[in-house]
């Protein structure tokens, strides 16, 4: 872990699910960009890893995933960022797709891909599951990128291979300039949509306790993240400046933004 710079700025695009879904609905297939959805763990990565900051710097949109982080910002900075949970946004974008739209899913299982196609009535869902540890194998990374590019243009591309692998793929797609469509780094969202994992009840989500529900479901995997690593956010906050970027009226449906905060 490298030393955290004295001062860092993280810019957040200030959309909720409804607002961003309206933008995504009109994105089209003539260009490419990608969406990242930071939670507390990702913000810690952002502080610790210069290469992770580059992944965010290249993203088209940075949408706050965490209600807990929004509450922390409200208490410590008097900011009221909109929250756009990645799992909710993933479900909304699947529901936006028409039956004939081309949808690309990278990661998850073939059975999960089939369930999603059936649930949302998708006739052109293209699925690819890279091998475990693929990100350390340049040939496996190239095969994954080439698969995605071969499906272009697509309506949406869902990258479900975990952080930071999915963000690395998204940036590479943008740099290569071949793919057309909108990509979203979605983490475990497909697991929630297909029932492989249970999501916290709505009341726990609204009370900023989704992390606790997930911890209780899988303590062996998540205890270190939530109980040891997660509290570091409070030590890092003094070095972090948060910037809320709001869409202008004239720029609705484009990348035009004004900055506040």
Higher pLDDT, 190 or 247: 190
Q: What is the pLDDT of residue 1?
A: 57
Surface-to-core class of residue 171, CB atoms within 10 Å of its CB (0-12 exposed, 13-18 middle, 19+ buried): buried
Is residue 250 a part of any domain in this protein? no
Query: For residues 189 and 162, is the Cβ–Cβ distance under 8 A?
Result: no
Is residue 255 a part of any domain in this protein? no
State percent of the chain over pLDDT 90: 77
Report residue 86's pLDDT band, with 50, 70 and 90 as the boundaries.
very high
Instruction: State pTM to two decimals.
Output: 0.89
* Tens digits of residue pLDDT in 36-60: 999 999 999 999 999 999 999 999 9
DSSP strand pairing (124-128 vs 181-185): unpaired
| pLDDT at residue 64 greater than cutoff 60 | yes
| pLDDT at residue 29 greater than cutoff 50 | yes
Is residue 256 a part of any domain in this protein? no
Q: Starting at the earlier edge strand, list the strands of the sheet with 181-185.
A: 61-62, 32-36, 181-185, 156-160, 102-107, 124-128
Is residue 67 a part of any domain in this protein? yes
Is residue 116 a part of any domain in this protein? yes
Q: Starting at the earlier edge strand, list the strands of the sheet with 8-13.
A: 8-13, 240-247, 257-260
Query: For residues 22 and 257, is the Cβ–Cβ distance under 8 A?
Result: no
Q: What is the pLDDT of residue 6?
A: 77
Q: What is the pLDDT of residue 94?
A: 97
* Tens digits of residue pLDDT in 180-193: 999 999 999 999 99
Q: Which of 38-47, 97-106, 192-201 has the lowest mean pLDDT?
A: 192-201
Q: What is the pLDDT of residue 197?
A: 82
240: CB partners within 8 A, 6+ apart: 8, 9, 10, 43, 47
| pLDDT at residue 202 greater than cutoff 90 | no
Is residue 253 a part of any domain in this protein? no
| pLDDT at residue 257 greater than cutoff 70 | no
Q: Other CB atoms closer than 10 Å to residue 165's CB: what's the count?
A: 21
Is residue 251 a part of any domain in this protein? no
Average pLDDT over residues 117-139: 97
Q: What is the pLDDT of residue 46?
A: 97
Q: Of 168, 215, 162, which Cα lies nearest the Cα of 188?
A: 162
Q: What is the pLDDT of residue 98?
A: 96
Arithmetic mean of pLDDT over the chain: 91
Listed as own residue / partner, the contacts of 16-20 with beta carbons closer than 8 Å and 24 or more positions apart are 16/82, 16/83, 16/84, 17/84, 17/85, 17/88, 17/89, 17/92, 19/82, 19/84, 19/247, 20/61, 20/63, 20/84, 20/89
Report residue 91's pLDDT band, with 50, 70 and 90 as the boundaries.
very high
Q: What is the pLDDT of residue 260?
A: 42
Q: Of 65, 46, 41, 66, which Cα lies nearest the Cα of 57?
A: 46
Average pLDDT over residues 167-173: 98
- The total of structural domains in the chain comes to 1
State percent of the chain over pLDDT 70: 93
Quote the domain boundaries for residue 104. Answer: 8-244
Half-sphere CA count of 108, side-chain side, radius 13 A: 28
Is residue 2 a part of any domain in this protein? no
Higher pLDDT, 135 or 7: 135
* Beta pairing partners, 124: 102
């Amino acid at each position: 872990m490298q030393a955290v710079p004295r001062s860092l700025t993280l810019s957040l695009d200030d959309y909720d699910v409804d607002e961003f879904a309206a933008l995504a609905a009109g994105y089209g297939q003539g260009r490419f960009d990608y969406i990242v959805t930071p939670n507390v763990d990702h913000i810690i990565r952002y502080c610790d890893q210069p290469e992770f900051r580059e992944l965010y710097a290249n993203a088209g949109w940075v949408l706050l995933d965490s209600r807990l982080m929004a509450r922390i910002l409200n208490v410590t900075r008097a900011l009221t960022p909109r929250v756009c949970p990645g799992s909710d946004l993933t479900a909304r974008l699947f529901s936006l797709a028409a039956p004939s739209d081309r949808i690309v899913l990278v990661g998850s299982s073939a059975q999960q891909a089939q369930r999603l196609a059936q649930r949302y009535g998708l006739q052109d869902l293209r699925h690819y599951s890279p091998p475990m540890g693929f990100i350390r194998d340049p040939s496996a990374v190239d095969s994954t990128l080439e698969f995605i590019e071969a499906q272009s243009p697509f309506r949406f591309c869902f990258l479900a291979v975990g952080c930071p692998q999915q963000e690395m793929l998204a940036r590479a797609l943008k740099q290569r300039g071949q793919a057309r469509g909108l990509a979203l780094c979605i983490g475990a969202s497909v697991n929630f949509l297909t029932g492989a994992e249970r999501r916290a009840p709505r009341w726990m989500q609204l009370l900023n306790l989704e992390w606790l529900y997930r911890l209780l479901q899988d303590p062996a995997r998540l205890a270190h993240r939530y109980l040891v690593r997660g509290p570091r956010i409070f030590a890092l906050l003094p070095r972090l400046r948060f910037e809320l970027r709001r869409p202008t009226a004239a720029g609705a449906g484009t990348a035009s933004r004004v900055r506040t905060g």
